[in-house]
Structure 1
Amino acid sequence: MLKRTIYDEEHEIFRRTVRKWAEVEVFPYAEQWRAEGCVSREVWRKAGEQGFLCMYADEKYGGLGLDDFRYDMILAEEINPREPGFFIALHNRIVGPYLQKLGTEEQRARFMPGVVSGECVLAVAMTEPGTGSDLGGVTTRAVDMGDHWVLNGSKTYISNGLLAGLVVVAARTGEGHEIGLFLVEDGMEGFVRGRNLKKLGLQSQDTAELFFDDVKVPKANVLGDPAKGFKTMMMNLAEERIMGALGFVARAEHAFNITMEYIQERRAFGRPIGTFQNSRFKMASIRTEIDAAWALTDHCVREHLRGELSAEMASEAKLFTSEVEGRVVDECLQLHGGAGYMEEYEISRLYADARISRIYAGTSEIMREIIGRGLGLDERKRN
């Protein structure tokens, strides 16, 4: 097993704190949340009480003023494998940075206290029914009315869509890539949430449709330049993909661990199935793939901490780790035999949860396109 060297002692102390907290406040409720199709608002507030939400926020907003990406990595590694529907990484490292980096002092003062406490859950609305991974194809439109903007359109597959108290909405404001980011608050007239979408996996994660019908958005709720939101979204995608990669490898690691336990206890022909050559060879290959995935991910994290992570390298990590997760959970389910097909066994849920990893935060096909263009293989440059 790969010895990871990316963490210091204070990180490991934090890990033990997170693990102990999650054993009491998260994992015992996982089955209930899956049945209800949504995690509780209470777990968000309890995470806030522990200081786990947007730790980089200034102390005057209730934050820790601690901008070390590795603490959020630990949250993902400890919570995601056993309760992947609690999208704390989305709140902390995907949406929160928009407010932290782009927000005005007035916007941070207005929203950050609730974001840090867990009273205000965050979501980001980019994907539309007809656009998928193509953010340049956004059709939701915002029109400048002088003292406010009017927002019209719809979004789909929005994680935290039902619980969110604040949604960062991407909307077209002009021609080409002129896109703005707008802070839409719960309760704004014309802002309507659709159904909680039924999914193959991630049953406890609220994923919703959002509709905007002449929503009046104050000028005070515009994030940054209303014509340059596309560039901002592109800049934040590298971190999103690294956060995804961490969760993918952590789930693969968890699948490996529960399978090791299973094959040492389950017997066939008078001996543990783990002692058969096929089991040994399969687990050896799985261990190798997971260690390679950790090594690539940690390399990307080091690059990110130095501010040097490229879009291409982040895409490589997202592509490789999501594909590894898919292969690992499939092999691990097979080693469980018939039991693996039963929902009561955790490996069955891991198998269903893993399928989305090759789709969200950019599909495997889009990742290959980004990597290929980075190699100079861009069809647009042929002429």
Structure 2
Amino acid sequence: MKVINRFLTNQNAQLTSLVILAVLASAQSYFGSQNTIAESTELYTKYNNYLIFKLSFFHLIEDKDLYILYLNEQWDLFKYSPTFALLFGLFAWLPDFVGLTLWNLLNGLVFFLGLYYLPKIDIRTKGLIFVFVVLELVGSVQNEQSNALMAGLLLFTFGFLERDKYWLAALCIVASIFIKLFGVVALALYFLYPNKWKLTYTTAVWVVVFTLLPLLVVGADQLLFLYKSWGNLLANDHDASHGMSVIGWLKTWFGWEPDKVVVAVVGAILFCLPLLKIKSYSKYPFRVLMLASVLLWVIIFNHRAESPTFIIAVSGVALWYFIQVPKTENLILLLLTLMFSILSPTDIVPAFVRTEWFEPYVVKAVPCILVWVKIIYDLLTGTFEPRISTEQIQD
């Protein structure tokens, strides 16, 4: 027990373990054997997602359409903004193993530092959150995706807002939007803070900067074409999938397939209901739970949610649970998240159970949906008891 407690309060030990895991995950991907994907006869590397990001930069500077298939180079489409493709040039010029490792380290470190930048939460609680999410974090890194980076940017956004560093908060939130559009949901956090005019114009400035940044390497006509092509891709992508989401859960469990827009609107209304409690804005635990709600909402109402994206949702679960005094019902939901959201995609669960039951029935999403409902209940009723001391929660 003493060893565990020392680890939970030792930020350097946690950081070292994260770096080692990220490097090992990169090596596993880089040195893994090539294989076919789906019905394709082409051989693709195990770090195909990284190659999609890398090649998007070269497609950008070569004035190519970023949003069409290049099956002779990579599997699947590039779905991020032209600005993301430009910024990925920081890695694209490097040898693959170096670039891949640095990309994975960036994801892991931004998440870790964002977690530890959260104010008014003690070191041990942050250690508990890190330990709870670390398997999910490694899973995201193994897929070379940007989800840990997204989670970290949202955590930093909250940390900067709490410290009245609005320029940096707006930078993080706009950066998240230009990676994955669902980052726009985090703009709801702005309601919780004063000086909304400053939040508005700082965000607007960063949006203009990020929108026009690709003009450094492409012409205005080409950039306009790319944004139109990106919009068409996202519009078609919206119709193509249900993902590990509320929609996927309703369809696979109950055979009910309501309109996606209707579900999103209902989810948005429920999400916004706690914002009517304006007097609660001054309470730090309320603001933290709103952050947890954001982290969960952007995944469970995302029609393209897949297993590696759940580092974002699971972070919301951990934040919700560990900042409160333990309760039986909360502990049950936490254990369900551990069993079915974190451990279900791993080899702990037999392969036939994963492929025949857990994946088709989007089991991974269900505990996160239940936790989000509980968060909305906690926010509306104000019955949650913060684990944080009275001194820590004072503004």
Q: TM-score range by the shorter chain?
A: 0.3 to 0.5
Which TM-score applies when normalising by structure 1? Answer: 0.32
Structure number with the higher strand fraction is: 1
